[in-house]
Amino acid sequence: MRNAENALEVDQLSRVFDVSAPWLNRMIDRKPKRYLRAVQDVTFVVEKGKCLALVGESGCGKSTVARLVTGLYAPSEGAIVFAPADKGRGRGKPMEAQMIFQDPHASLNPRWRVGDIIAEPIREFGLRSGAEATEARVAELLRTVGLSPDDAKRYPHEFSGGQRQRISIARALASEPEFLVCDEPTSALDVSVQAQILNLMRRLQDELGLTYLFISHNLAVVRHMADRISVMYLGRIVEEADTEALFADPQHPYTRLLLQTIPDVAAPNRDRELMGGEPPSPLDPPKGCAFHPRCPMATDLCSKTAPEVRARKGGGTVACHLAPAA
Amino acid sequence: MSIAHPPAADVLALDVKGLSVEFPTRKGVLTALSDVSLSIRRGEILGVVGESGAGKSMTGMAVLGLLEPPGRIAGGEIRIGGKRTDNLSEAEMAAIRGRMVGAIFQDPLTSLNPLFSVGQQLVETIRLHSERNKTEARVYAVDLLKQVGIPGANERIDHYPHQFSGGMRQRVVIALALAGNPQLIIADEPTTALDVSIQAQITALLRRLCREHGTGVMLVTHDMGVIAETADRVAVMYAGRVIEIGPVEEVLSRPKHPYTRGLMGSIPALGARVERLAQIDGAMPRLNAIPTGCAFNPRCLEAGSRCREVRPTMVAQAQGSVACLVHDGGVS
């Protein structure tokens, strides 16, 4: 760890997927192997007790980062370092990070009672001794997320989407993690339920001192939750800064495009210009800066050389040739 | 260009009065929609918002005549371009679909047939709804693809759906919906499956096309932001009823119904960060357990004794109308 204040340090992280056709097809068609660079040279730190958000459109690699951080994928290159856990750990491998998934309908075992779903990590890591203590802990967790201890006897299908997401959060908290990776935790929910879950997550952060890596495509939600924001485009972080600084002065043209295109209820822009273009396929990324085919300011340099990540004016980092010097 | 149904300027694209939809089940009849009334002028976009299960998609499906059995229209009237359609047979309704009312659904991949090129699907639809021959239909198909902003329409017309990106596919679906030159388009969550930067392109396209073609659009969505930027008027639904309807600026900035107010408060704003979002506790009631009186009363902060007894009806306000006893004789 470079700094004791950091809960997570991610350094030059890359992940490459082999998406080649089967060997025989490749031999017949004389095609080379194909690789998809889902995440490239991603570097960030998350301070203890803070919330870092990764924002971007589908296919930008934000969920891959979440899976790398929680160990569901192995990194191709780079390092992921967690702060050493403060609390003592029981048997089994200590879990630094837990994850909350997007779809609460798919992430809970339909054949298990809610109480068993939440108790599994407690039993597995031996965090409580005896059935009674485990049961008491499950009841406490259910109360923490705003459900009733009686709900432990019911099955997931008896709950609504918002309640199921509360169960997912209770399960994530069961192994007493200090770090939660939240992959689009409210995208499958209605707005009024989304508000309930976001309020709950903020309250838990204050009460339990949790650190969040929050992944979302919704900038309004991110602004509400995050202390710091990283904007990703085609596997790379293009701009990173404190939330207020990023919203006040977006310096990468892609960040500006994102901010301009989100519909805002408070200030609808009904006569917006049509922003052209779509994100290119990560299988065949453009040369130079990946954003240059859509960028309104692109120059010759942008189509030839990929921009370095450098210090951003007003704090943070930015990867753009045309951004003002820090 | 031949227009199958030359409309009088004052004919509404859609006029729904007192629509009820029921699902008979073994445990009794569930009322999915109750007394829904709304209208859409030609060239106007009416947003229909609400949470899952509020009945917004059901309203669209009822208008299209695509209710899943055993669902059935139990009462009320639907008029598309002045023609009554709720009592038509399945065959008569099939003749109207596409020609008088088009549809755009959420997932563009499942709305297109993967085995036929985009051109084949467009030409088939155009020929079904007009007198054009194959060559004319293909010329019109290219024209439609150009109108929805597909670059290189002449070559792209022979591509298959999987060769298009999500945003481009949704543009093709919009072209298909426009192919029969309908007076009304039901767009059910047309941008929900798309990324934000693409979403803005598609909503702007819908706005432009409905003005140019004089088509009324029923835009069904849960996204208030999309409504704010796209719709002219908005209807808010809750538990199978329309509870508030009016001009979009009025409803979004001065909501009258406590539910609409709660909904607006629960949306994280881009402008400023608040410590805590306003939240509506609880969840929408299930169809078999809709409370007596106002369906929203158990979650409502302003509810009084009258709200538990009297079911509020739509009452006209200075702008729009609202179904809430606060605006209709008091809550107690």
Query: What pLDDT is stored for residue A89 in this prediction?
Result: 46
Q: Which residues of A touch B278 (CB under 8 A)?
A: 195
Q: Which CATH superfamily is domain B41-58+88-232 in?
A: P-loop containing nucleotide triphosphate hydrolases (3.40.50.300)
Of B229, B252, B279, the CB nearest to A199: B279
Query: What pLDDT is stored for residue A271 in this prediction?
Result: 64
Contact flag A220-B273 (C-beta cutoff 8 Å) = no
Of B165, B222, B277, the CB nearest to A199: B277
Please give the CATH number for the structural domain made up of A6-96+177-234. Answer: 3.40.50.300
Lowest-pLDDT choice from A74-88, A199-213, B200-214, B248-262:
A74-88
| Token pair for A248 | 């006040």
**pLDDT tens-digit series, residues B132-160:** 999 999 999 999 999 888 888 899 999 99
Of B51, B149, B204, the CB nearest to A192: B51
Residue A5 has pLDDT above 50, yes or no: yes
- pLDDT confidence of B1, banded at 50, 70, 90? very low
CA distance B234 to B222: 12
Does residue B228 belong to the interface with chain A, where contact is any CB pair within 8 Å? Answer: yes
CA distance B247 to A187: 28
Sign of CA dihedral B137, B138, B140, B141: positive
CA distance B256 to B77: 27
CA A58 to chain centre: 12
CA A252 to chain centre: 20
Q: Which residues of A touch B199 (CB under 8 A)?
A: 261, 263
Of A196, A220, A244, the CB nearest to B269: A220
Residue A123 has pLDDT above 80, yes or no: yes
| 3 state DSSP class of A321 | coil
| 3 state DSSP class of A37 | strand
| b/e A293-324 (16+ beta carbons within 10 angstroms → b) | bbbeebeeebeeebbebeebeeebbbbbbbbe
Mean pLDDT, rounded, for B192-203 = 82
Contact flag B267-A195 (C-beta cutoff 8 Å) = yes
Q: How many residues does chain B have?
A: 332
Within chain B, strands assigned E span 14-25, 28-40, 45-49, 72-80, 83-84, 101-104, 184-188, 216-221, 233-238, 241-247, 315-316, 321-322
Query: What pLDDT is stored for residue A92 in this prediction?
Result: 47
Q: Which residues of A touch B195 (CB under 8 A)?
A: 57-58, 217, 279
Beta strands across the sheet bearing A236-242 = A97-100, A179-183, A211-216, A51-55, A228-233, A236-242, A317-318, A310-311
Contact flag A265-B262 (C-beta cutoff 8 Å) = no
**pLDDT tens-digit series, residues A19-75:** 888 889 888 988 888 888 899 999 999 999 999 999 988 888 888 999 999 888 999
Residue A91 has pLDDT above 70, yes or no: no
Task: Please give, rounded to a whole number of angstroms, the shortest distance from the CA of B230 to a CA of chain A.
Answer: 7
Q: Which residues of A touch B202 (CB under 8 A)?
A: none
Domain chopping of chain B, boundaries:
41-58+88-232, 239-268+288-332
pTM: 0.83
Mean pLDDT, rounded, for A241-246 = 93
Q: Which residues of A touch B266 (CB under 8 A)?
A: 191-192, 194-195
Query: What pLDDT is stored for residue B191 in this prediction?
Result: 87
Mean pLDDT, rounded, for B293-317 = 90
Contact flag B228-A191 (C-beta cutoff 8 Å) = no
Does residue B269 belong to the interface with chain A, where contact is any CB pair within 8 Å? Answer: yes
Name the phi and psi angles at A48, rounded to 5.
-60, 135
Residue B236 has pLDDT above 90, yes or no: yes
Residue A308 has pLDDT above 60, yes or no: yes
Residue B270 has pLDDT above 80, yes or no: no
- Determine the longest span between alpha carbons in chain A, in angstroms: 69
CA distance B100 to B186: 11
CA B292 to chain centre: 27
Backbone conformation region of residue B305, classed left if phi is above 0, alpha if psi is from -120 to 50, else beta: alpha
Q: How many residues does chain A have?
A: 326
Mean pLDDT, rounded, for B41-56 = 91
Mean pLDDT, rounded, for A143-170 = 91
Task: Please give, rounded to a whole number of angstroms, the shortest distance from the CA of A144 to a CA of chain B.
Answer: 16
Residue B274 has pLDDT above 80, yes or no: no
Average predicted confidence (pLDDT) for chain B: 89
- pLDDT confidence of A275, banded at 50, 70, 90? low
What is the percent of chain A with per-residue pLDDT over 90, rounded to a whole number?
Answer: 48
Query: What pLDDT is stored for residue A257 in this prediction?
Result: 86
For residue B24, CA distances in Å to A272, B28, B33, B173 come to: 47, 6, 13, 33
Which positions in chain A have a beta carbon within 8 angstroms of at least one beta carbon in chain B?
57-58, 160-163, 190-196, 198-199, 202, 217, 219-221, 223-224, 243-244, 247, 257-259, 261-270, 272, 274-276, 278-279
Mean pLDDT, rounded, for A248-253 = 92
- Which segments of A111-190 does DSSP mark as H helices, in order? 114-124, 131-144, 161-174
Contact flag A217-B196 (C-beta cutoff 8 Å) = yes
**pLDDT tens-digit series, residues B7-22:** 455 679 999 999 999 9
Contact flag B278-A275 (C-beta cutoff 8 Å) = no
Long-range contacts of B68-71 (CB under 8 A, 24+ apart): B70/B23, B70/B24, B70/B25, B71/B21, B71/B22, B71/B23, B71/B32
- Which segments of B48-165 does DSSP mark as H helices, in order? 56-64, 90-96, 108-111, 118-129, 134-147, 153-156
Contact flag B283-A199 (C-beta cutoff 8 Å) = no
Residue A124 has pLDDT above 80, yes or no: yes
Within B176-313, strands assigned E span 184-188, 216-221, 233-238, 241-247
Of B199, B222, B277, the CB nearest to A195: B277
Mean pLDDT, rounded, for A184-197 = 87
Does residue B274 belong to the interface with chain A, where contact is any CB pair within 8 Å? Answer: yes
Of A194, A244, A274, the CB nearest to B204: A274
Does residue B222 belong to the interface with chain A, where contact is any CB pair within 8 Å? Answer: yes
Residue B3 has pLDDT above 50, yes or no: no
What is the percent of chain B with per-residue pLDDT over 70, rounded to a whole number?
Answer: 96
Contact flag B52-A190 (C-beta cutoff 8 Å) = yes
Lowest-pLDDT choice from A222-226, B44-48, B279-283:
B279-283
Q: Which residues of B touch A160 (CB under 8 A)?
A: 283
